[in-house]
Amino acid sequence: MIKGTTKLLGVIGHPVEHSLSPAMHNAAISHLGVDFVYLPFPVKPGDLKAALAGFAAIGVRGFSITIPHKQAILPLLSEVSPIARSIGAVNTVYLTDKGWCGTNTDVEGFLAPLQTPPTPPYQGGAKDATSGLERGNTVVESDSPPYETRAVESCPPPYQGGARGGSDWSQKVAVILGNGGAARAVVAGCAQLGCAEIHVVGRSEQNLAEFQQSWVNSPMPVQNLQVHTWDNLSMLISQADLLVNTTPVGMYPQGEKSPVGEGALDRISAGAIVYDLIYTPNPTQFLKDAQLRGARAIDGLEMLVQQGAAALKIWLNKESVPVDVMRQALRQHLGLD
Protein backbone atom coordinates (compact mmCIF):
# COMPACT_ATOMS: atom_id res chain seq x y z
CA MET A 1 0.00 0.00 0.00
CA ILE A 2 1.29 3.45 -0.93
CA LYS A 3 1.49 5.73 2.12
CA GLY A 4 2.80 9.18 2.96
CA THR A 5 6.09 7.55 3.93
CA THR A 6 6.46 5.59 0.69
CA LYS A 7 9.71 6.39 -1.10
CA LEU A 8 9.62 6.95 -4.85
CA LEU A 9 11.57 5.23 -7.60
CA GLY A 10 10.75 5.24 -11.28
CA VAL A 11 11.65 5.26 -14.94
CA ILE A 12 11.74 8.29 -17.23
CA GLY A 13 11.37 8.27 -20.99
CA HIS A 14 9.26 9.52 -23.87
CA PRO A 15 7.25 7.46 -24.41
CA VAL A 16 7.45 5.38 -21.25
CA GLU A 17 4.10 3.57 -21.17
CA HIS A 18 5.65 0.47 -22.74
CA SER A 19 8.33 0.04 -20.06
CA LEU A 20 8.56 -3.37 -18.39
CA SER A 21 10.54 -1.98 -15.46
CA PRO A 22 7.56 -1.26 -13.14
CA ALA A 23 6.41 -4.89 -13.36
CA MET A 24 9.73 -6.40 -12.29
CA HIS A 25 10.74 -3.73 -9.77
CA ASN A 26 7.41 -3.59 -7.97
CA ALA A 27 7.35 -7.39 -7.77
CA ALA A 28 10.74 -7.31 -6.03
CA ILE A 29 9.71 -4.41 -3.76
CA SER A 30 6.57 -6.28 -2.70
CA HIS A 31 8.58 -9.45 -2.04
CA LEU A 32 11.09 -7.55 0.11
CA GLY A 33 8.35 -5.73 2.04
CA VAL A 34 10.11 -2.36 1.78
CA ASP A 35 8.24 0.96 1.71
CA PHE A 36 9.01 1.88 -1.90
CA VAL A 37 7.09 2.12 -5.16
CA TYR A 38 8.40 2.24 -8.73
CA LEU A 39 6.46 4.44 -11.17
CA PRO A 40 6.69 5.37 -14.87
CA PHE A 41 7.27 9.11 -15.43
CA PRO A 42 6.71 10.43 -18.97
CA VAL A 43 9.27 13.22 -19.49
CA LYS A 44 9.54 15.08 -22.79
CA PRO A 45 13.04 15.90 -24.06
CA GLY A 46 12.65 19.62 -23.33
CA ASP A 47 11.53 18.93 -19.76
CA LEU A 48 14.46 16.81 -18.59
CA LYS A 49 16.21 19.49 -16.51
CA ALA A 50 12.94 20.54 -14.89
CA ALA A 51 12.10 16.91 -14.13
CA LEU A 52 15.38 16.42 -12.26
CA ALA A 53 14.69 19.48 -10.13
CA GLY A 54 11.17 18.26 -9.46
CA PHE A 55 12.37 14.79 -8.51
CA ALA A 56 14.83 16.28 -6.01
CA ALA A 57 12.08 18.48 -4.57
CA ILE A 58 9.69 15.60 -3.89
CA GLY A 59 12.35 13.21 -2.65
CA VAL A 60 12.63 10.68 -5.47
CA ARG A 61 15.43 8.29 -4.48
CA GLY A 62 16.43 7.09 -7.93
CA PHE A 63 15.22 6.27 -11.41
CA SER A 64 15.90 4.33 -14.59
CA ILE A 65 16.33 6.05 -17.93
CA THR A 66 15.15 4.98 -21.34
CA ILE A 67 15.07 6.63 -24.76
CA PRO A 68 15.53 9.51 -25.49
CA HIS A 69 17.31 10.61 -22.29
CA LYS A 70 20.23 8.19 -21.87
CA GLN A 71 22.75 10.56 -23.43
CA ALA A 72 21.00 13.89 -22.83
CA ILE A 73 21.11 13.49 -19.06
CA LEU A 74 24.91 13.24 -18.85
CA PRO A 75 25.67 16.99 -18.50
CA LEU A 76 22.87 17.40 -15.93
CA LEU A 77 24.37 14.97 -13.41
CA SER A 78 26.76 15.77 -10.57
CA GLU A 79 28.74 12.59 -11.10
CA VAL A 80 28.93 9.94 -13.81
CA SER A 81 30.60 6.54 -13.34
CA PRO A 82 33.54 5.55 -15.60
CA ILE A 83 31.52 2.72 -17.13
CA ALA A 84 28.70 5.12 -18.09
CA ARG A 85 31.19 7.59 -19.59
CA SER A 86 32.80 4.80 -21.58
CA ILE A 87 29.47 3.66 -22.96
CA GLY A 88 28.32 7.25 -23.43
CA ALA A 89 24.97 6.59 -21.80
CA VAL A 90 23.35 6.42 -18.36
CA ASN A 91 20.52 4.04 -17.55
CA THR A 92 20.45 4.35 -13.74
CA VAL A 93 20.43 7.50 -11.59
CA TYR A 94 20.58 7.70 -7.79
CA LEU A 95 20.63 10.53 -5.27
CA THR A 96 23.63 11.21 -3.02
CA ASP A 97 24.90 14.12 -0.94
CA LYS A 98 26.62 15.35 -4.10
CA GLY A 99 23.38 15.37 -6.08
CA TRP A 100 22.21 13.12 -8.90
CA CYS A 101 24.76 10.46 -9.86
CA GLY A 102 24.53 8.30 -12.96
CA THR A 103 25.81 4.88 -13.92
CA ASN A 104 25.07 2.14 -16.42
CA THR A 105 24.01 -1.35 -15.35
CA ASP A 106 23.61 -2.74 -18.88
CA VAL A 107 27.14 -4.18 -18.78
CA GLU A 108 26.40 -6.06 -15.57
CA GLY A 109 23.13 -7.26 -17.08
CA PHE A 110 24.86 -8.44 -20.25
CA LEU A 111 27.57 -10.29 -18.32
CA ALA A 112 25.36 -12.08 -15.81
CA PRO A 113 24.26 -15.07 -17.94
CA LEU A 114 27.79 -15.47 -19.30
CA GLN A 115 29.41 -15.74 -15.88
CA THR A 116 27.09 -17.91 -13.83
CA PRO A 117 23.88 -19.81 -14.56
CA PRO A 118 20.77 -17.87 -13.49
CA THR A 119 18.99 -19.34 -10.47
CA PRO A 120 16.54 -20.81 -11.26
CA PRO A 121 17.83 -21.46 -14.78
CA TYR A 122 16.23 -19.14 -17.30
CA GLN A 123 14.03 -21.00 -19.77
CA GLY A 124 12.91 -19.58 -23.09
CA GLY A 125 9.82 -20.15 -25.16
CA ALA A 126 7.10 -17.57 -25.85
CA LYS A 127 3.40 -18.38 -25.71
CA ASP A 128 2.35 -15.05 -27.21
CA ALA A 129 4.92 -12.99 -29.05
CA THR A 130 2.38 -10.23 -29.73
CA SER A 131 1.97 -9.40 -26.06
CA GLY A 132 5.72 -8.81 -25.81
CA LEU A 133 5.70 -5.93 -28.26
CA GLU A 134 2.56 -4.39 -26.85
CA ARG A 135 4.13 -4.26 -23.42
CA GLY A 136 7.60 -3.22 -24.62
CA ASN A 137 10.84 -4.62 -25.92
CA THR A 138 14.52 -4.08 -25.52
CA VAL A 139 15.85 -1.09 -27.44
CA VAL A 140 18.76 -1.88 -29.72
CA GLU A 141 20.20 -0.04 -32.66
CA SER A 142 20.24 -1.12 -36.27
CA ASP A 143 23.41 -1.58 -38.24
CA SER A 144 22.70 -4.55 -40.45
CA PRO A 145 20.46 -5.57 -43.35
CA PRO A 146 17.58 -7.93 -42.50
CA TYR A 147 17.90 -11.46 -43.77
CA GLU A 148 14.88 -13.68 -44.37
CA THR A 149 15.16 -17.22 -43.04
CA ARG A 150 12.98 -20.27 -42.90
CA ALA A 151 10.89 -21.16 -39.89
CA VAL A 152 12.18 -23.82 -37.50
CA GLU A 153 9.79 -26.12 -35.69
CA SER A 154 11.79 -26.79 -32.54
CA CYS A 155 15.18 -26.16 -30.97
CA PRO A 156 17.36 -27.48 -28.16
CA PRO A 157 16.85 -25.87 -24.73
CA PRO A 158 18.29 -22.36 -24.34
CA TYR A 159 21.78 -22.01 -22.95
CA GLN A 160 21.67 -21.53 -19.18
CA GLY A 161 24.90 -19.61 -18.65
CA GLY A 162 28.62 -20.15 -18.21
CA ALA A 163 31.49 -19.44 -20.57
CA ARG A 164 32.28 -21.87 -23.34
CA GLY A 165 35.00 -24.15 -22.05
CA GLY A 166 34.76 -22.71 -18.54
CA SER A 167 35.01 -19.20 -17.12
CA ASP A 168 38.38 -18.27 -18.64
CA TRP A 169 37.75 -15.87 -21.51
CA SER A 170 41.39 -14.93 -22.08
CA GLN A 171 41.60 -17.07 -25.25
CA LYS A 172 38.06 -16.34 -26.48
CA VAL A 173 36.96 -14.34 -29.51
CA ALA A 174 33.84 -12.14 -29.38
CA VAL A 175 32.03 -10.95 -32.52
CA ILE A 176 29.44 -8.19 -32.12
CA LEU A 177 26.84 -7.40 -34.77
CA GLY A 178 26.11 -3.66 -34.93
CA ASN A 179 27.96 -0.59 -33.72
CA GLY A 180 25.24 1.48 -32.03
CA GLY A 181 24.68 2.28 -28.37
CA ALA A 182 23.78 -1.28 -27.40
CA ALA A 183 27.03 -2.50 -28.94
CA ARG A 184 28.99 -0.12 -26.68
CA ALA A 185 27.68 -1.89 -23.57
CA VAL A 186 28.54 -5.26 -25.10
CA VAL A 187 32.09 -4.15 -25.98
CA ALA A 188 32.58 -2.96 -22.40
CA GLY A 189 31.27 -6.29 -21.13
CA CYS A 190 33.55 -8.31 -23.38
CA ALA A 191 36.51 -6.20 -22.24
CA GLN A 192 35.62 -6.94 -18.61
CA LEU A 193 35.43 -10.65 -19.42
CA GLY A 194 38.99 -10.35 -20.74
CA CYS A 195 38.25 -11.59 -24.27
CA ALA A 196 41.39 -12.04 -26.35
CA GLU A 197 39.77 -10.40 -29.39
CA ILE A 198 36.68 -8.21 -29.78
CA HIS A 199 35.37 -7.72 -33.31
CA VAL A 200 32.57 -5.27 -34.18
CA VAL A 201 30.74 -5.58 -37.49
CA GLY A 202 28.91 -2.69 -39.12
CA ARG A 203 27.95 -1.16 -42.47
CA SER A 204 29.68 2.24 -42.50
CA GLU A 205 33.48 2.35 -42.51
CA GLN A 206 33.41 5.90 -41.17
CA ASN A 207 31.07 5.03 -38.30
CA LEU A 208 33.16 1.99 -37.49
CA ALA A 209 36.36 4.03 -37.42
CA GLU A 210 34.74 6.57 -35.09
CA PHE A 211 33.44 3.76 -32.91
CA GLN A 212 36.93 2.26 -32.58
CA GLN A 213 38.59 5.61 -31.92
CA SER A 214 36.08 6.45 -29.19
CA TRP A 215 37.49 3.62 -27.07
CA VAL A 216 41.12 4.72 -27.36
CA ASN A 217 40.76 7.68 -24.98
CA SER A 218 37.87 6.18 -23.06
CA PRO A 219 37.87 6.02 -19.21
CA MET A 220 37.97 2.26 -19.84
CA PRO A 221 40.22 1.82 -22.92
CA VAL A 222 39.69 -1.27 -25.07
CA GLN A 223 42.93 -2.13 -26.85
CA ASN A 224 41.95 -5.41 -28.49
CA LEU A 225 38.99 -4.02 -30.45
CA GLN A 226 38.84 -4.46 -34.23
CA VAL A 227 36.12 -3.23 -36.60
CA HIS A 228 34.91 -4.78 -39.86
CA THR A 229 32.34 -4.21 -42.56
CA TRP A 230 29.56 -6.74 -43.05
CA ASP A 231 31.28 -8.58 -45.93
CA ASN A 232 33.80 -10.00 -43.45
CA LEU A 233 31.13 -11.63 -41.30
CA SER A 234 31.44 -15.23 -42.53
CA MET A 235 35.15 -15.32 -41.75
CA LEU A 236 34.61 -13.78 -38.31
CA ILE A 237 31.80 -16.19 -37.41
CA SER A 238 34.11 -19.14 -37.95
CA GLN A 239 36.41 -17.71 -35.25
CA ALA A 240 33.71 -16.68 -32.76
CA ASP A 241 33.37 -18.17 -29.31
CA LEU A 242 30.73 -15.52 -28.57
CA LEU A 243 28.46 -14.00 -31.25
CA VAL A 244 26.20 -11.15 -30.10
CA ASN A 245 23.38 -9.44 -32.01
CA THR A 246 22.84 -5.83 -30.90
CA THR A 247 20.67 -4.89 -33.91
CA PRO A 248 16.84 -4.97 -33.94
CA VAL A 249 16.72 -7.35 -36.91
CA GLY A 250 14.41 -10.20 -35.93
CA MET A 251 12.43 -8.24 -33.35
CA TYR A 252 8.65 -8.66 -33.36
CA PRO A 253 6.73 -8.15 -35.66
CA GLN A 254 9.48 -9.26 -38.07
CA GLY A 255 10.34 -12.36 -36.12
CA GLU A 256 11.04 -14.41 -39.27
CA LYS A 257 14.14 -12.34 -40.03
CA SER A 258 17.72 -12.84 -38.87
CA PRO A 259 20.74 -10.52 -39.00
CA VAL A 260 22.88 -13.43 -40.28
CA GLY A 261 22.30 -15.53 -43.37
CA GLU A 262 22.16 -19.29 -42.94
CA GLY A 263 25.26 -19.76 -45.09
CA ALA A 264 27.33 -17.54 -42.81
CA LEU A 265 25.86 -19.10 -39.70
CA ASP A 266 26.85 -22.55 -40.95
CA ARG A 267 30.40 -21.54 -39.98
CA ILE A 268 29.60 -21.18 -36.28
CA SER A 269 31.50 -23.62 -34.07
CA ALA A 270 29.51 -26.21 -32.13
CA GLY A 271 29.39 -25.04 -28.52
CA ALA A 272 29.87 -21.36 -29.34
CA ILE A 273 27.59 -18.97 -27.46
CA VAL A 274 25.12 -16.96 -29.55
CA TYR A 275 23.51 -14.06 -27.66
CA ASP A 276 20.62 -11.94 -28.97
CA LEU A 277 19.68 -8.78 -27.05
CA ILE A 278 16.13 -9.15 -28.39
CA TYR A 279 13.70 -11.10 -26.19
CA THR A 280 10.50 -10.93 -28.27
CA PRO A 281 10.00 -13.30 -30.06
CA ASN A 282 11.46 -15.86 -27.74
CA PRO A 283 13.62 -17.37 -29.13
CA THR A 284 14.45 -15.24 -32.17
CA GLN A 285 15.01 -16.78 -35.59
CA PHE A 286 18.71 -15.98 -35.16
CA LEU A 287 18.88 -18.05 -31.97
CA LYS A 288 16.83 -20.90 -33.45
CA ASP A 289 19.12 -21.14 -36.46
CA ALA A 290 22.20 -21.03 -34.24
CA GLN A 291 20.93 -23.73 -31.91
CA LEU A 292 20.26 -26.06 -34.83
CA ARG A 293 23.97 -25.71 -35.65
CA GLY A 294 25.06 -26.74 -32.16
CA ALA A 295 25.48 -23.28 -30.65
CA ARG A 296 24.24 -22.33 -27.19
CA ALA A 297 21.70 -19.53 -27.05
CA ILE A 298 21.01 -16.63 -24.67
CA ASP A 299 18.22 -14.13 -25.27
CA GLY A 300 17.79 -10.58 -23.99
CA LEU A 301 15.30 -11.22 -21.19
CA GLU A 302 17.97 -12.25 -18.69
CA MET A 303 19.99 -9.11 -19.48
CA LEU A 304 16.88 -7.00 -18.85
CA VAL A 305 16.29 -8.69 -15.49
CA GLN A 306 19.90 -8.50 -14.36
CA GLN A 307 20.44 -4.85 -15.28
CA GLY A 308 17.28 -4.03 -13.33
CA ALA A 309 18.44 -6.05 -10.35
CA ALA A 310 21.78 -4.20 -10.34
CA ALA A 311 19.95 -0.86 -10.28
CA LEU A 312 17.62 -1.95 -7.48
CA LYS A 313 20.60 -2.94 -5.32
CA ILE A 314 21.91 0.61 -5.67
CA TRP A 315 18.60 2.29 -4.81
CA LEU A 316 17.79 0.05 -1.85
CA ASN A 317 21.42 -0.21 -0.68
CA LYS A 318 21.15 -3.99 -0.57
CA GLU A 319 23.70 -6.63 -1.48
CA SER A 320 21.03 -8.84 -3.02
CA VAL A 321 17.52 -8.55 -4.41
CA PRO A 322 15.07 -11.32 -5.46
CA VAL A 323 16.17 -11.76 -9.07
CA ASP A 324 13.99 -14.85 -9.47
CA VAL A 325 10.90 -12.85 -8.49
CA MET A 326 11.79 -10.13 -11.02
CA ARG A 327 12.35 -12.70 -13.76
CA GLN A 328 9.07 -14.47 -13.07
CA ALA A 329 7.14 -11.18 -13.03
CA LEU A 330 8.50 -10.32 -16.48
CA ARG A 331 7.82 -13.77 -17.89
CA GLN A 332 4.23 -13.58 -16.72
CA HIS A 333 3.86 -10.03 -18.02
CA LEU A 334 5.15 -11.10 -21.44
CA GLY A 335 3.03 -14.23 -21.56
CA LEU A 336 6.04 -16.56 -21.58
CA ASP A 337 4.57 -18.89 -18.92
Residue 29: name the closest of 311, 322, 328, 314 by CA: 322
> HSE-up of 94 (CA within 13 Å, CB side)?
14
Q: Residue 135: is its pLDDT beyond 70?
A: no
CB-based burial, 294-321: b 16+ in 10 Å, e otherwise: ebbbbbbbbbbbbbbbbbbebbbeeeeb
Q: Answer with the residue of higher pLDDT: 123 or 303.
A: 303
pLDDT of the residue at 81: 95
Q: What is the dihedral of CA 176, 149, 271, 335, to 10 degrees?
A: 90
pLDDT of the residue at 139: 36
Residue 282 CA from chain centroid, whole number: 15
Give the separation between CA 159 and CA 18, rounded to whole angstroms.
28
Give the separation between CA 131 and CA 280, rounded to whole angstroms.
9
The whole model's pTM is what?
A: 0.81
Residues 264 and 243: beta-carbon distance below 8 Å: no
Q: Residue 229: is its pLDDT beyond 80?
A: yes
pLDDT of the residue at 118: 40
Q: Residue 252: is its pLDDT beyond 90?
A: no
Per the residue annotation, which of 70, 98, 127, 257 is the catalytic one? 70
Amino acid found at 336: L
Q: Residue 50: is its pLDDT beyond 90?
A: yes
pLDDT one-digit tens code per residue, 61-116: 999 999 899 999 999 999 999 999 999 999 999 999 999 999 999 999 999 999 85
* Other residues' Cβ atoms within 10 Å of the Cβ of residue 11: 23
Q: What is the mean pLDDT of residues 195-217?
A: 95
pLDDT one-digit tens code per residue, 144-165: 444 433 333 333 333 333 443 3
Q: Is 313 a catalytic residue?
A: no
Q: What is the mean pLDDT of residues 264-276?
A: 96
Residue 155: name the closest of 289, 272, 270 by CA: 289
| Burial (Cβ within 10 Å: 0-12, 13-18, ≥19) of residue 103 | buried
